[in-house]
């Protein structure tokens, strides 16, 4: 067996409590509960990947994801990591119906490969990464919760606030007003997670406009498969409208991009896997559609994989990678200067791979 051959693949559950329930209009996370895959080479090099489990959004479950990753692990045992491209395609074939597992498997493979050739993961994607600040999510709760949380995070240095809406029209207007009051001069996004019809979304936006709240972004205002509604909201407002749940697979995303049904799309690696995400990025940029890099509930491991992808390849206008800031317990080791307490990420200090490993 060559030194760079895959000797062993381990899979286990990881979990951590959150500082508060991460509640959106379609459900809630009380804890992070994800699956970790570790790909170990004969020479001891280890690559890691994280499968983000968001059963209330994607329907993917922990047990099945573990099982699928273990069976993928058996298949790739003995392969040399230099064949990472072949391994990525094997993952596409075997894990296509379990995208969280696909993302984890592909991340672990390229992490091990990048460590083998001693490059940071972003170099695999191309250009020179820059510093970038993530938005921070204001979850569903009371208007006072929205005010207090926004104020605390603004004091920490966050500047972009993404307010989850879509449960109660008037209460949501008040919550957005409260958050905006706590963060004068900051950018305000809203994310309805599929809650509205086109007409409701437009009236929500115009109500906020009447009250002097300038929104910088509206995310997934309408139902997942309401492509007409999505196009209508995009056409009738000047505010950028982003598709998230509506762009779940390659075909959905391509349909939105080709038809310019939204201003932009939210690329989450766990929706697409790494290869399809790269394809969607290319198509979107070619068609003048804007890009957000987003995530499910993820630790720094999956988050850094997304950072390397987005900042390494470039072209992303919106960064929505804030879930590590909701973890009440550290799960991962990483260079601390790469993720500042105000949400500014800088992956340039990463020497090899993603730069993150289990603590």
# residues contacting Mg ion (CB under 5 A): 3
Q: What is the nearest approach in angstroms of Mg ion to the Cβ of residue 334? A: 24
Element (H, E) at 85: helix 84-95
Give Cβ neighbours of residue 29 (< 8 Å, ≥ 6 apart). Answer: 18, 21, 22, 23, 54, 297
Q: What is the nearest approach in angstroms of Mg ion to the Cβ of residue 162? A: 8
In contact, 328 and 22? CB cutoff 8 Å: no
Q: What is the nearest approach in angstroms of Mg ion to the Cβ of residue 170? A: 22
Using the minimum distance from each CB to Mg ion, give the nearer residue, 72 or 318: 318
Q: What is the nearest approach in angstroms of Mg ion to the Cβ of residue 164? A: 9
Q: How far is it, in rounded angstroms, from Cα 207 to Cα 327?
A: 34
Q: How far is it, in rounded angstroms, from Cα 291 to Cα 296?
A: 16
Q: What is the nearest approach in angstroms of Mg ion to the Cβ of residue 193? A: 6
Q: Please tell me whether residue 135 binds Mg ion under the rule CB under 5 A.
A: no
Using the minimum distance from each CB to Mg ion, give the nearer residue, 239 or 340: 239
**DSSP reduced 3-state for 138:** strand
Which residue is associated with the tokens 């509205």?
Answer: 196
Using the minimum distance from each CB to Mg ion, give the nearer residue, 120 or 221: 221
Q: Please tell me whether residue 244 binds Mg ion under the rule CB under 5 A.
A: yes
Interface mask toward Mg ion for 179-198; x: CB under 5 A? ------------x-------
The tokens for 134 are 């993530």
Q: How far is it, in rounded angstroms, from Cα 201 to Cα 275?
A: 33
Using the minimum distance from each CB to Mg ion, give the nearer residue, 45 or 242: 242
Which residue is associated with the tokens 């890099």?
Answer: 293
Using the minimum distance from each CB to Mg ion, give the nearer residue, 9 or 53: 53
Segment 46-105, which members bind Mg ion (CB under 5 A)? none
Distance (Å) of CA 256 to CA 93, 114, 191 = 25, 33, 18
| Nearest to 269, CA basis, from 324, 310, 237, 230 | 310
In contact, 257 and 287? CB cutoff 8 Å: yes
Segment 199-238, which members bind Mg ion (CB under 5 A)? 219
Using the minimum distance from each CB to Mg ion, give the nearer residue, 84 or 248: 248
The answer to whether the Cα torsion of 272, 277, 282, 286 is positive or negative is positive
Q: What is the nearest approach in angstroms of Mg ion to the Cβ of residue 254? A: 19
Q: How far is it, in rounded angstroms, from Cα 80 to Cα 6?
A: 6
Q: What is the CA radius of gyration of the chain?
A: 20
Q: Please tell me whether residue 322 binds Mg ion under the rule CB under 5 A.
A: no
Using the minimum distance from each CB to Mg ion, give the nearer residue, 90 or 243: 243
Interface mask toward Mg ion for 255-294; x: CB under 5 A? ----------------------------------------
Stretch that binds Mg ion, among 52-60, 106-114, 244-252, 284-292 (CB under 5 A): 244-252
Residue in the shown chain whose Cβ atom is closest to Mg ion: 244
Binding residues for Mg ion, rule: CB under 5 A, are 191, 219, 244
């Amino acid at each position: 067996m060559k030194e760079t051959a895959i000797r062993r693949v381990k899979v286990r559950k990881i979990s951590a409590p959150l500082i508060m329930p991460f509640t959106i209009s379609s459900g809630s996370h009380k804890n992070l509960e994800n699956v970790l895959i570790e790909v170990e080479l004969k020479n001891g090099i280890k690559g890691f990947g994280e499968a983000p489990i968001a059963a209330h959004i994607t329907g993917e479950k922990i047990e099945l994801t573990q099982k699928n990753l273990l069976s993928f692990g058996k298949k790739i045992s003995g392969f040399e990591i230099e064949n990472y491209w072949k391994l990525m395609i094997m993952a596409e074939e075997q894990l296509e119906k379990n995208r969280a597992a696909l993302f984890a498997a592909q991340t672990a493979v390229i992490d091990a490969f990048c460590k083998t050739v001693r490059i940071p993961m972003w170099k695999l994607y191309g250009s020179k990464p820059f510093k970038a600040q993530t938005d921070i999510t204001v979850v569903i709760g009371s208007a006072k919760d929205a005010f207090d949380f926004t104020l605390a995070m603004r004091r920490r240095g966050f500047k972009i606030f993404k307010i989850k809406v879509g449960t109660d029209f008037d209460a949501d207007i008040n919550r957005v007003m409260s958050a905006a009051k706590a963060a004068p001069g900051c950018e305000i996004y809203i994310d309805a997670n599929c809650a509205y019809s086109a007409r409701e979304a437009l009236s929500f936006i115009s109500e906020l406009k009447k009250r002097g709240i300038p929104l910088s972004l509206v995310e997934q205002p309408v139902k997942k498969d309401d492509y007409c509604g999505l196009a209508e909201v995009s056409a009738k407002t000047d505010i950028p409208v982003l598709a998230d749940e509506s762009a779940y697979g390659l075909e959905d995303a391509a349909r939105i991009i080709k038809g310019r049904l939204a201003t932009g799309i939210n690329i989450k690696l766990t929706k697409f896997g790494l290869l399809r995400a790269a394809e969607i990025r290319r198509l979107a940029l070619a068609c003048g559609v804007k890009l957000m890099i987003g995530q499910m509930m993820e630790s720094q491991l999956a988050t850094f994989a997304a950072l390397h992808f987005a900042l390494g390849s470039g072209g992303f206008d919106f960064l929505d990678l804030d879930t590590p800031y909701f973890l009440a317990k550290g799960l991962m080791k990483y260079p601390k200067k790469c993720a500042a307490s105000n949400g500014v990420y800088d992956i340039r200090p990463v020497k090899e791979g993603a730069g993150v490993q289990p603590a």
